[in-house]
Amino acid sequence: MQLQDILYSQGFGTRRVCAGLIQQGWVEVYAKNSTQTPVKYADVATEIDVAGLRFKVQGVDWPYAEKAYIMLNKPTATECSQKPSTYPSIYTLLPAPLRQRPQKGAVQGVQAVGRLDQDTTGMLLLTDDGKFIHRMSSPRHHVPKVYEVMVKHPLTNAQVMQLLSGVVLDDDTKPVRAAACDAVSERHLRLTLLEGKYHQVKRMVAAVSNRVDALHRSQIGALRLPDDLLPGQWRWLSAADLALIAA
């Protein structure tokens, strides 16, 4: 693939902008399987093998990714929206190339796989792979999501059992159940869900006469949020990570 097209596909701007970055010496390419000093190319039409490609743009290392899959540790007081109403958008936490990756249609860049409320923290996946978003969002696939729930009142065994057996939310007649529910401590509940209704955790806890004081998503599938990924930070997902999500 031509170097100019590589930069364009990775979200570094229009083809004209990408050509300018190359011609001004801002783009360096690492040799295959090498961490040695990368080489600058001035020709926008230079053919590069994208398999395992790593490159630098304006001093920042980037891997080539046909599709981007990333994990963000969502901080509190942020919204999972491109047009937030009250708090900053989670998309402002991402570098411009991830927000600008070209897609068919009007939407550009990576998109959140589902949403977390503005006051909910923890693991959020983002991608520009529409099929992955559909698969992860479909209730037919039953991808488990684990939440750490801090509640206002001390938990009782009856509340835990009720969450496991099922509660009826205010807009439905069919009970919703937790796939797993453990009282970690007096006010700490670990809840696993296989679906994602609107404000589901908060409404389920309210249905057993308690209240959520803080909510954090710690795991999707078998993939846990790393302890060293601080609130507001993001990282690429590896093939092994993606396998854990689908496990």
Q: Render pLDDT for 144-165 as a digit per residue (tens, 0 to 9).
A: 999 999 999 999 999 999 999 9
pLDDT tens digit sequence for 160-203:
999 999 999 887 778 999 999 999 999 999 999 998 888 899 99
Residue 139 pLDDT exceeds 80: no
Q: 24 vs 18, 63, 95, 118, 184, CA distance in Å? A: 10, 21, 21, 41, 56
CB-count exposure of residue 68 (10 Å: 0-12, 13-18, 19+): buried
Mean pLDDT (the chain, rounded):
94
DSSP 8-state class, residue 2 = B
Output the six-digit token pair for 85: 């109403």
**Cβ pair 90, 98 in contact under 8 A:** no
Catalytic residues, by residue number, are 117
All residues at 6 or more sequence positions from 233 whose CB lies less than 8 Å from its CB, including other chains: 72, 73
Reading the block at residue 45, the tokens are: 């039409």
* Lowest-confidence pick of 43-52, 144-153, 171-180, 236-245: 171-180
pTM over cut 0.75? yes
Which residue segments constitute the domains of the chain, with CATH numbers given? Answer: 3-63 (3.10.290.10), 69-140+223-246 (3.30.70.580), 145-220 (3.30.70.1560)
Rounded CA gap, 207 and 200, in Å? 10
Count CB atoms within 10 A of the CB of residue 31: 11
